Structure 1
């Protein structure tokens, strides 16, 4: 189980990082009509939610600032941002740093039961696998936004 998780996470995060690094920086702040967010938000959301799933952010993790949940948590949107939102390039760098931390999670942790079920997951490994799904889903959103903006 653990070998598959690390391989899948590596595949998902590596592709995610490559894609967001390759984007034209001029399009990441554009929010097309009919969409609740932009690419900048998508990147911050993936970082923040992964930090929640893998490291118990914001109560058990100080690897990213506590206010990221206000910018990128579920239900947030760029229209509500203040001037102190982290830049796109900072978020991409933090994704890379987070990637390294996730790969150091011990395989034994994947079998650990969660204190209470979350999103239908009973173990840390199930939640981690859901995190990979979540990341891939948002990569699809980023690709859709980029194609729409560039069309």
Structure 2
């Protein structure tokens, strides 16, 4: 594996580890709260991070391991307010997020530069997809931190 590929996976693992560290300080109750001004909760953001990475991999390679219900629960424009069936628990989502970087590295680590037909965003390699999903994960980490801050402020009132 090339040095830059090692760096890419180190970044994926490091950023995911940071999210997991934040999640380790969050209670199940906090994970369910939806503060005023937000459409989703922390648990939804966890599922969305997990789903988004596999959706972009699927858009590129046409293979995926994510159950179809995940798109119904955690896809773009979904909300916990619309859940009609039992979704993965906070603990289950933490475990899925913990395992995901290793799974991706095992499945695609030797195919980062393989050319595929481009996705709707013009990405045509796994390397490009992972760069995009790491950025997206960072956005949702900030959303999780914002939700947590609002929940803590509201609990002081």
TM-score, normalising length from structure 1? Answer: 0.88
Structure-1 residue corresponding to 2:138:
136
- Greater radius of gyration (CA): 2
Structure-2 residue corresponding to 1:99:
101
Match 2:87 to one of 80, 85, 88: 85
Contact 2:57–2:64, Cα closer than 8 Å, also in 1:
no
Q: Deviations over 1:65-98 (max 9, x none)?
A: 2211100011111111023111111111111121
Match 1:50 to one of 53, 65, 69: 53
Deviation at 1:56, TM superposition (A): 5.5
Match 2:31 to one of 18, 28, 32: 28
Hey, what's the Cα distance between the residues in 1 that align with 2:123 and 2:15? 20
Secondary structure at the residue paired with 2:24?
Answer: helix
Hey, what's the Cα distance between the residues in 1 that align with 2:136 and 2:33? 22
Q: What are structure 1's unaligned runs of at least 5 residues?
A: none
Runs of 4+ in 1 over 4 A off after TM superposition: none
The RMSD of aligned alpha carbons is 1.9
Hey, what's the Cα distance between the residues in 2 that align with 1:106 and 1:116? 17
Task: Looking at secondary structure, tell me which structure has more strand per residue.
Answer: 1
Deviation at 1:121, TM superposition (A): 2.2
Contact 2:59–2:119, Cα closer than 8 Å, also in 1:
no
Secondary structure at the residue paired with 1:104?
Answer: helix
Of 119-128 and 7-16, more deviation after overlay is shown by 119-128
Hey, what's the Cα distance between the residues in 2 that align with 1:15 and 1:116? 30
Paired positions, count: 149
Q: What are structure 2's unaligned runs of at least 5 residues?
A: none
Secondary structure at the residue paired with 2:92?
Answer: helix
- Shift of the 138–113 alpha-carbon distance from structure 1 to 2, 3 Å rule, reads same
